[in-house]
Structure 1
Amino acid sequence: MAATAGGKHKMGFVGATSYMIGNIIGSGIFITPTSILMRTHSVGLSLIVWSLCAVIAILGSLCYIELGTSIRDPGCDFAYICYVKWYPIAFAFMWVSVLLTYPAVLAIQAEAFGEYLVEGLQPIVCFDGPNVIYAKKLLGFALLWLLTWLNFFSLKTFASRFQIIATIAKLLSTGLVIVTGFYLLIFRGWTTNLESPMSGSIWKAGDLVLALYGGLWAYSGWDVLNYGSDEIEHPKRTMPLAMLAGIGIVAVVYVAINVAYFVVLDVDAMSDSHAVAATFSQKVLGNFSFAIPFLIGVLLCGSLNSSIFVGSRYMFAAARQGHLPSCFSCVNQETDSPRAAIFAQTLLAIAVSFIGDLDNLIGYVIFAIWFQRVFTMLGLLWIRYKKIPVHPDAIRMPTALIVFFMLLSASLVLIPVVQEPEVTAIGLVIVASGMIMYFIFVWPKNTPVFLQRINEATTNVTSIVFSALPDLKKFDSLDQNDISPAVNCSPNAKSDDFTEITKRISRFDTDSNGTEQPRQRF
């Protein structure tokens, strides 16, 4: 984004690390331990799975460090697949991510926040019948809109600082469980559940793989910085430090909190618990257990904020590439915030929250995330094979590491085929529908005139409403002297300013015609 050229609105090591921790640590750490234990049946094997998942996340982050420092475009996998000109594949996965995956994640986190907050307020406010459902949604939506407004402003000044505060609160809330558990272990001698850690272990390959799959889901989000690599100060230094530090801190927290759980709860008690943190607090915190729902709510605030960052940057990258209407590429010139994409992701999240069982929806599309990573790793190998130029400050990783992570991602795609073929089939249909949409709307060189007019009109309106200008990738290569840098996007804008906005769009459209791979011009 242009406004970040001087680093005014970019985030440094602390902010980037906070986004890493905030995006990884979510409600999963209070749910996943039970599912992993049900597959492993022992304390020791469960902790091994958690540690192995951390190693896999670190290996994946190393590959994405090379990608993030090599290709300084926002959008993570989408940007990287587009870089090697595999546009149909990039569009297909973008279709799933923008319309379903990221809005569904936001919707689930918002509703989870509302659910925990309602539970915490039950002693004070009586929620019954249908009022409970409405209360959960309204509270979740209220937080979602608040964070949306926060992200409209400078990343470094507002959203990044909020993420730092939320991350500190998140570590304090998980730290409460860890400190309590280790206090009972060290000073009270509660060692019974840890005396035979490998007792009862079940070494079935299928169960272990599914346990690993659940653990990796809890670690998902380690690629958050790749969605806004152009908004990070000194990526060559900051990205590797922030990513490795973030995953390292999360790994310590995850293993420590599981040890704390096992100090208080035996294998049977944890296996029977649907909310292990609540069961833990009821056992040892007594009257203070009422605070746990609020602490988890604080935790979800940070998760929601980082999810808004990820989803909006992905949509912005797709629009900037020309795969979505150009109105979603509009960036506020003062704060460098992609306000239109942020607003659109919030609206989609609210819409998705009303379509039914969100958990099943995530199940249909989650495999697409790992499927996309397979192509991302193939793209990185293709860049090396073809010696495609990348940023001179790129950090290069061993080829064996890239191949290993690609094979690992492929195995995680194949697991659901055997275990849940229906889920995989539906997921493939969704991805295939994205491919079809690409060849209908993006592939043709000449977009219908009425679609071009709709695109120009929506971009003009978006520019006024959000005080923003379209930031199109093709426009970046044009002669900046041809276009005035100061364009008024306010409601008092003159006709010349509307002409300027339209010029940026039309120049993009004209420049796209006749290129090796024409881009969409809705």
Structure 2
Amino acid sequence: MEKLTEANTPISNDGCTKQQQDNIRLKRQLGLPSAVSLIAGTMIGSGIFMSPQGVLYYMGSPGASLLIWASCGLLAMMGALSYAELGTVIKESGGEYIYILRNIGPLPAFLLAYTSVIVVRPASIAGVSLSFAEYVVATFYQDCPSPPVVVKCTAAACILVLALINCLNVKLATSIMNIFTVAKLLVLLLIILGGLVLVIKGNTQGLQNTFENTVSGFGPVGVAFYQGLWSYDGWNNLNYVTEELKNPEVNLPRAVMIAIPLVTCVYLLVNISYFIAMTPRELLSSDAVAISWGVKLLGSWTWIISLGVAMSTFGSANGTFFSGGRVCYVAAREGHLPDALSMAHVKRLTPSPALIFTSVISLIMIIPSSFSTIVNLFSFTAWLFYGITLSGLLYMKITKPDIPRPYKVPIIIPVIVLIASVYLVLAPIIGSPQMEYVYVILFIVSGLIVYIPLIHYKWSPECLRSVTLHLQLLLEVAPTDKNE
């Protein structure tokens, strides 16, 4: 039988007391290689294999598309450097949530957690899992479109496997990230070398008149940025797991400076290879850009590209899952989500309740969604909160200039990223308004209905405490402490 303390904290038969449970914490197990792998491995996922069509469609020419890809890399780099200062001053996991909570206040932090946990992170996981499924299923349906039901069932299986991996062991999850990061870089290197071979053979038609038919306009450029920035999503992932990073003062900015320039260079070279191998018309008509490239250059060996894309998207989904569960975990630890989500497994030291909750929401999002819808939904919401986070950094720089800063970014960099975030939020609404943006705003505002009674007035239904207790017993989890 389990015994309970006055605080309704279970004491197990193996002698785990309340004091011992309070000392449970997530370990610092991420070194510099794993930190670089978490950033690069999450960034390199489905985007580089699916977004080139979207960027080209909205920009109209290969040259303008390459400018968008380079600009996205520069913007991601500046954003990550700004976050590096935040992460070395506020050494807590949780990313935007914890920075907004400490710099601006509990209400906007809650709205972020509410939106991120229910929409943003699950949307990202669902989007990457769907792209993984599309490439895997396409191998078996080469002569006809893949059945949507099969694609969505495969995506669901991907999410369930990732949930199991991340709940079992942190080292297992990071090992998979490291292995799959190397594998996807090798596949992208193959695509780059294929383009180089074509150039050597004199096939440079794709590099002529590169800015012909370029589209300009407030809205199209903003949506093109959405498509490109989807491929760079993950530049801030290390800030979600700061408490699990060894020596964050050094490794956080160092990992950013290694990973993001590497990914940007790879993306530009891969896009150039696409444009050399295919005309803009061929690229726009392709259902899977990398596969079309493989058919033209590799022939019967195209399966290598399919396998590489599947590994890339699976590894990216794993990184997103790893960091996304931590937002839920930290928000619950701060009292903005149910207590059960702030607990960790007493033996495996993984935030399994938060990971399970994230996987359930991700599975639900797969049912009605398409890849392009998820990209727009995710990007609009994410950049809204990135802008709020950077406002907090600027406020901290101006009002608290004497705080010790192991790493300090020039103030002009967060200012530029803040301006870019305002543009990315407003451009699609003004240039190509869609109802999904209205739905997102209404959903964020609906968080007030939850915040006022449960957070502001601290109303806690008795049934919720009972559910928390039973979940503790069922999942073998206990409250945690922060890493110092």
Deviation string, structure 1 residues 39-95 (Cα, Å, up to 9, x no partner): 333333322221121111111111000111111111111111111252111111221
Distance in structure 1 (CA, Å) of the matches to 2:151 and 2:62: 35
Aligned pair 1:136/2:151, yes or no? Answer: yes
Q: Is the 8 A contact 1:109 1:300 kept in 2?
A: yes
Q: Is the 8 A contact 1:416 1:423 kept in 2?
A: no
Q: How does 1:140-179 map to 2 (within 5 A)?
A: 140-155=155-170, 157-179=171-193
Aligned pair 1:420/2:439, yes or no? Answer: no
How far did residue 464 of structure 1 move?
Answer: 2.7
How far did residue 250 of structure 1 move?
Answer: 0.7
| 2:139 alignment partner, SS class | helix
Distance in structure 2 (CA, Å) of the matches to 1:138 and 1:40: 34
Distance in structure 2 (CA, Å) of the matches to 1:298 and 1:134: 21
How far did residue 418 of structure 1 move?
Answer: 0.3
Q: Is the 8 A contact 1:321 1:472 kept in 2?
A: no
How far did residue 310 of structure 1 move?
Answer: 2.1
Distance in structure 2 (CA, Å) of the matches to 1:374 and 1:80: 12
Cross-structure match for 2:327: 314
2:410 corresponds to which of 398, 407, 432: 398
Cross-structure match for 1:288: 301
Aligned pair 1:52/2:52, yes or no? Answer: no
How far did residue 231 of structure 1 move?
Answer: 0.8
Q: Is the 8 A contact 1:327 1:455 kept in 2?
A: no
How far did residue 137 of structure 1 move?
Answer: 3.1
| TM-score normalized by the length of structure 1 | 0.82
- The answer for unaligned runs of 5 or more in structure 1 is 478-522
Distance in structure 2 (CA, Å) of the matches to 1:40 and 1:360: 19
Q: Is the 8 A contact 2:230 2:375 kept in 1?
A: no
Amino acid aligned to 1:305: N
Q: Percent identity?
A: 29
Cross-structure match for 1:520: none
How far did residue 139 of structure 1 move?
Answer: 2.7
Aligned pair 1:465/2:465, yes or no? Answer: no
Task: Report the structure number with the largest CA radius of gyration.
Answer: 1
Aligned pair 1:91/2:110, yes or no? Answer: yes
Amino acid aligned to 1:31: M
Aligned length: 462
Cross-structure match for 1:263: 276
Aligned pair 1:274/2:287, yes or no? Answer: yes
Aligned pair 1:109/2:128, yes or no? Answer: yes
How far did residue 389 of structure 1 move?
Answer: 8.1
Distance in structure 2 (CA, Å) of the matches to 1:267 and 1:139: 31
1:206–1:9 Cα change, 3 Å: closer
Aligned pair 1:443/2:456, yes or no? Answer: yes
Aligned pair 1:456/2:446, yes or no? Answer: no
How far did residue 160 of structure 1 move?
Answer: 0.8
1:4–1:252 Cα change, 3 Å: farther
How far did residue 3 of structure 1 move?
Answer: 5.4
Aligned pair 1:382/2:395, yes or no? Answer: yes
1:365–1:405 Cα change, 3 Å: same
Amino acid aligned to 2:419: L
Cross-structure match for 2:244: 231
Q: Is the 8 A contact 2:222 2:423 kept in 1?
A: no
Q: Is the 8 A contact 2:380 2:437 kept in 1?
A: yes
Aligned pair 1:300/2:309, yes or no? Answer: no
Aligned pair 1:410/2:425, yes or no? Answer: no
| 1:75 alignment partner, SS class | coil
Q: Is the 8 A contact 2:253 2:407 kept in 1?
A: no
Distance in structure 1 (CA, Å) of the matches to 2:410 and 2:233: 23
| 1:423 alignment partner, SS class | helix
Distance in structure 1 (CA, Å) of the matches to 2:98 and 2:301: 47
Distance in structure 2 (CA, Å) of the matches to 1:203 and 1:141: 39
Deviation string, structure 1 residues 265-284 (Cα, Å, up to 9, x no partner): 12232233332212211212
How far did residue 200 of structure 1 move?
Answer: 4.2
User: Which structure carries more relative contact order (alpha carbon 8 Å, separation 6+)?
Assistant: 2
Deviation string, structure 1 residues 128-178 (Cα, Å, up to 9, x no partner): 99xx444333332233222222212442x2111110001111112222211
Q: Is the 8 A contact 1:103 1:346 kept in 2?
A: yes
- The answer for unaligned runs of 5 or more in structure 2 is 1-21
Aligned pair 1:28/2:47, yes or no? Answer: yes
Deviation string, structure 1 residues 195-234 (Cα, Å, up to 9, x no partner): 4434444455554343333222221220000111111111
Larger CA deviation: 201-210 vs 406-415: 201-210
How far did residue 354 of structure 1 move?
Answer: 2.2
Q: Is the 8 A contact 2:97 2:331 kept in 1?
A: yes
1:42–1:355 Cα change, 3 Å: closer
Cross-structure match for 1:336: 349
| TM-score normalized by the length of structure 2 | 0.88
| 1:160 alignment partner, SS class | helix
Distance in structure 2 (CA, Å) of the matches to 1:148 and 1:308: 8
Aligned pair 1:77/2:96, yes or no? Answer: yes
Aligned pair 1:372/2:385, yes or no? Answer: yes
Amino acid aligned to 1:24: M
Q: Is the 8 A contact 1:191 1:263 kept in 2?
A: yes
Distance in structure 2 (CA, Å) of the matches to 1:203 and 1:419: 11
Distance in structure 2 (CA, Å) of the matches to 1:312 and 1:431: 20
1:142–1:377 Cα change, 3 Å: same
How far did residue 2 of structure 1 move?
Answer: 5.6
Larger CA deviation: 294-303 vs 251-260: 294-303
Q: Is the 8 A contact 2:93 2:330 kept in 1?
A: yes
Deviation string, structure 1 residues 387-444 (Cα, Å, up to 9, x no partner): 2886x45312222222222121111111122023333322211110012321132110
1:357–1:265 Cα change, 3 Å: closer
How far did residue 362 of structure 1 move?
Answer: 5.1
